[in-house]
Amino acid sequence: MSKDHASRSRTLSYWLRHAPEAGGITIDPQGWAEAGAVLAALAREGLPTSEALLRAVVEGSDKRRFELSGDGRRIRARQGHSVAVEGSWEPATPPPVLYHGTVARLMDAILREGLTRQQRHHVHLSPDLATARQVGARRGEPVILVIDAARMVAEGHAFAVSSNGVWLVEAVPPGYLSRADQP
């Protein structure tokens, strides 16, 4: 991935998830921004851009973080927002087990408090070990947590799934967590 491509992706993540005003763009209640306004904002940042390069960021995102509208005129982050968005996350029954990648320095708090959404709308969970490992590795040596999603559902917790396969839940209390390397 080129330096400019990575910069565009990081910048889009920041603007579309957390601070649209930092890019001088607006997002609607569902998180959509006008692609033309985003292209102009990227140009103001000195990042070489075009519709083709914007599409390449969307299509080349390792976790499919972004999506373009059918007509290509709007773009949004699929999940991970700290700004208010309504989202279009489909309620769904998850597989019996889900995973979460984190790092060792956060484990004491996680084991005490569970997984909390922090400033985001949801806790993000992965459907497989490989994805969870990739997520955890962004911050250091990954620690993989196993979530007893079947028991959570049976006990009334609601899940949704985003259009890129990330599972979403309000919180995961500590009693539903175990480490992948421990029974």
Q: Which of 77, 100, 128 is the last residue of a domain?
A: 77
Is residue 180 within 8 Å of residue 146, measured between CB atoms?
yes
Dump pLDDT digits (tens) for 88-110.
Answer: 667 899 999 999 999 999 999 99
The region, left, alpha or beta by phi > 0 then psi within -120 to 50, assigned to residue 156 is left
Domain assignment present for 48: yes
Tell how far CA 144 is from the center of its chain. Answer: 17
Across 4-31, average pLDDT: 83
Q: Which of 77, 106, 128 is the last residue of a domain?
A: 77
Q: Which of 19, 52, 77 is the last residue of a domain?
A: 77
Across 48-61, average pLDDT: 82
- Whole-prediction pTM value? 0.59
The DSSP secondary structure of 50-103, one letter per residue, reads: -HHHHHHHHHH-TT--EEE-TTSSEEEESS--SS-----PEE-PPPSEEEEEEE
Dump pLDDT digits (tens) for 20-43.
Answer: 899 899 888 888 889 999 999 988
Question: Looking at residue 100, which CATH number applies to its domain?
Answer: 3.20.170.30
Q: Check whether residue 108 and residue 167 sit in a common domain.
A: yes
Which tokens in the block code for residue 156?
Answer: 């009334």
Task: Count the helix, strand and coil residues of the chain and give each as a percent rounded to the nearest 5.
Answer: 35, 25, 40
Can you give the residue range of the structural domain that contains 49? 3-77
Number of compact structural domains in the chain: 2
Q: Check whether residue 70 and residue 105 sit in a common domain.
A: no
Domain assignment present for 83: no
